[in-house]
């Protein structure tokens, strides 16, 4: 297996070796910059801020169109909130992971780069006695065989999101049109945008729509999906997710890349680089974007760069540093921790844990066997929700084992080591994937998508389609590049009209 450069990001910990920052990744680009200094950089048509999927897509499409593009990122790697680490020859997805052929933008790119046969599936039933879904909900433990439990969850999920007797179709008729479009019903959108998932849980209980047994498995899944407590999670967002996935949560966590997300991201970067039109500078922090209406200046810690246009793909929780319109933060504040356990049978397990009492919080809301490693051990990936910056694993990595014990004592008993990225404490993310709280859509979504002079704001955080997913990032990068290319190719006299 190829040896990749080491990024400064991510952590690895074991009780024997202790805590070490920095993980190898195919996404670590070396050298960090393609030019000697800001003053020596050539003039650019467009500057792209951020080398996640939105930025990589925009940079690739613009360079293929013939534009001279500068790609900037504060990290020492590409991929943004999606990257793959390599530890002892094993790959771990540190951020965004799952893809599906019903995600049109991402699937187009997968087939473009010939990766459609390089997928692997997360679920595994190799160990029949451990092919279960186990939940500890409000202190009560339930464990059921995975296949019948999964079907129960599928059925219960459909009832939970069916707020109108039509699977949410009267609220969001077309998943890509939530607050703007010919099929939008403003009254219903406003009603469910005000509703939290906690509000819906109370309604479901009052109307006996779902049983307590069903909620015991569903609610922790909502927590891991939002990285937030149900009272801080938007019901409208859940309806949108359900409508995209045909009211099935199976489509939201199914397929992964065998070669890792960083390999996929590198395909975009390499294609742009091969055009000869791409310059890049990593470990370059953007301080300010100044739109002078004739050109745009991007001020960084390594100097200033000018171009006719800028594509900013900064996450919404970070973009406020350079644009006040993005000052409202999303609620995705959760852990994602891979832990190695010396018990092969745990590959087939799924675990959930949640207490509705906020005075008794649970750090990890869900975990499942993610992959069997070459040495016969198993990697279990766990997620949290509503986790604070001050309680990140690196402050005391011994608590990971204790957190796992609250999910299932067997995970803690066989614990060996962990690999993770602290998204909540990450200055360039300030949270994981973007999830909205109540009233976010109707208050901010249209504002986020408005033109901002010569600056195109493109991010999965406000995608029309699979918002918060890799597919949404590619959608946004494609749209931004298309708009800039059309204007760039327009004759000067037509541009003045």
Provide the mean pLDDT of the chain: 93
Distance CA 79, CA 491 (A): 35
H/E element, 367: strand 364-372
For residue 95, give the DSSP letter: S
6-83+260-323+452-495 CATH fold = FAD/NAD(P)-binding domain (3.50.50)
- Which residues are annotated as part of the binding site for FAD? 286
- 492: Cβ–Cβ under 8 A, 6 or more apart, which residues? none
Predicted pLDDT of residue 268: 98
Measured on CA atoms in the order 249, 251, 252, 254, is the torsion positive or negative?
positive
pLDDT in tens, 215-254: 999 999 999 999 999 999 999 999 999 999 888 867 665 7
Q: Where are the domains of the chain?
A: 6-83+260-323+452-495, 123-252+327-428
Distance CA 388, CA 424 (A): 7
SS3 439: coil
Average pLDDT (254-281) is: 96
Going by pLDDT thresholds of 50, 70 and 90, the confidence category of residue 491 is confident
Which tokens sit at 50?
């951020």
Query: Would you call the peptide bond into 31 cis, given omega within 30 degrees of 0 as the criterion?
Result: yes
For residue 456, give the DSSP letter: E
Q: What residues pair up with 381 in beta bridges, in sequence order?
A: 338, 368
Q: What residues pair up with 380 in beta bridges, in sequence order?
A: 339, 369
Q: Which of 399, 398, 403, 401 minimizes the C-alpha distance to 353?
A: 403
Residues, the chain: 497
- Which residues are annotated as part of the binding site for substrate? 244
Predicted pLDDT of residue 111: 97
Angle between helices 53-64 and 470-489 (to 10 degrees): 30
- Which residues are annotated as part of the binding site? 244, 286
Q: What is the DSSP string of 114-160?
A: T-TTSEEES---SSGGG-EEEEEETTEEEEEEHHHHHHHHHHHHHHH
Predicted pLDDT of residue 246: 83
pLDDT in tens, 51-94: 999 999 999 999 999 999 999 999 999 999 999 999 999 999 99
- 72: Cβ–Cβ under 8 A, 6 or more apart, which residues? 47, 48, 49, 50, 51, 280, 281, 282, 284, 286, 298, 300, 305
pLDDT in tens, 163-184: 999 999 999 999 999 998 889 9
| Distinct helix (H) and strand (E) counts, the chain | 15, 20
pTM of the complete model: 0.96
Which range is least confidently modeled, 150-154, 310-314, 324-328, 349-353?
A: 324-328
pLDDT-above-70 percentage for the chain:
96
CATH code of domain 123-252+327-428: 3.90.660.10
Q: Which of 87, 83, 122, 10 minimizes the C-alpha distance to 368?
A: 122
Predicted pLDDT of residue 492: 65
For residue 258, give the DSSP letter: S
pLDDT in tens, 419-447: 999 999 999 999 999 999 999 999 888 88
Question: Which CA distances in Å does 108 have to 12, 105, 116, 177, 195?
Answer: 34, 5, 10, 21, 35
State the alpha helices, DSSP H only, in 245-295. Answer: 261-274
CB 253 within 8 A of CB 350: no
Largest distance between two CA atoms of the chain: 72
Distance CA 210, CA 204 (A): 6
pLDDT in tens, 373-402: 999 999 999 999 877 788 899 999 999 999
SS3 452: strand
Predicted pLDDT of residue 125: 86
């Amino acid at each position: 297996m190829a040896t990749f450069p080491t990024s400064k990001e991510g952590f690895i910990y074991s009780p024997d070796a202790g805590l070490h920052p920095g993980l190898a990744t195919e996404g670590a680009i070396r050298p960090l910059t393609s030019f000697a200094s800001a003053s020596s950089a050539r003039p650019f048509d467009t500057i792209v801020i951020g080398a996640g999927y939105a930025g990589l897509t925009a940079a690739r499409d613009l360079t293929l169109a013939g534009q001279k593009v500068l790609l900037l990122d504060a990290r020492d790697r590409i991929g943004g909130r999606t990257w793959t680490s390599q530890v002892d020859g094993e790959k771990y997805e540190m951020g965004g992971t799952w893809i599906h052929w019903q995600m049109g933008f991402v699937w187009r790119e997968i087939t473009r780069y010939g990766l459609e046969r390089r997928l692997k599936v997360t679920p595994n039933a190799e160990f029949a006695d451990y092919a279960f879904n186990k939940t500890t909900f409000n202190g009560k433990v339930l464990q059921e065989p995975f296949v019948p439990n999964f079907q129960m969850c599928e059925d219960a999920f459909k009832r939970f999101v069916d707020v109108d007797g039509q699977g949410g179709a009267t609220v969001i008729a077309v998943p890509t049109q939530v607050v703007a479009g010919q099929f939008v019903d403003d009254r219903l959108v406003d009603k469910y945008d005000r509703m939290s998932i906690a509000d819906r849980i109370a309604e479901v209980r009052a109307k006996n729509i779902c049983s307590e047994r069903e909620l015991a498995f569903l609610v922790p899944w909502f927590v891991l999906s939002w990285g937030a407590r149900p009272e801080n999670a938007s019901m409208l967002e859940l309806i949108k997710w359900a409508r995209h996935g045909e009211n099935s949560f199976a489509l939201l966590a199914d397929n992964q890349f065998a070669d890792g997300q960083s390999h996929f991201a590198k395909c975009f970067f390499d294609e742009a680089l091969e055009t000869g039109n791409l310059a890049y500078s990593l470990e370059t922090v953007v301080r300010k974007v100044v739109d002078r209406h004739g050109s745009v200046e991007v001020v960084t810690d390594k100097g200033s760069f000018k171009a006719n246009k800028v594509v900013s793909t900064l996450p919404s929780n970070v973009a406020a540093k350079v644009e006040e319109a993005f000052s409202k933060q999303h609620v995705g504040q959760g852990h994602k921790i891979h832990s190695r356990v010396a018990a092969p049978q745990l590959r087939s397990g799924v675990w959930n844990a949640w207490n509705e009492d906020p005075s008794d919080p649970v750090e990890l809301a869900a975990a499942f066997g993610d992959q069997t490693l070459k040495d016969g051990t198993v990697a279990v990936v766990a997620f949290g929700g509503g986790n604070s910056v001050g309680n990140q694993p690196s402050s005391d990595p011994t608590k990971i084992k204790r957190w796992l014990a609250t999910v299932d004592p067997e995970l803690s008993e066989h614990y060996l080591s962990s690999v993770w990225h602290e998204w909540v404490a990450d200055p360039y993310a300030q949270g994981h994937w973007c999830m909205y709280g109540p009233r976010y859509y109707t208050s901010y979504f249209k504002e986020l998508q408005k033109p901002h002079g010569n600056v195109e704001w493109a991010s999965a955080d406000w995608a029309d389609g699979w918002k918060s997913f890799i597919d949404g990032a590619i959608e946004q990068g494609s749209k931004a590049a298309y708009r800039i290319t059309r204007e760039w190719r327009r004759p000067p006299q037509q541009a003045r009209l």
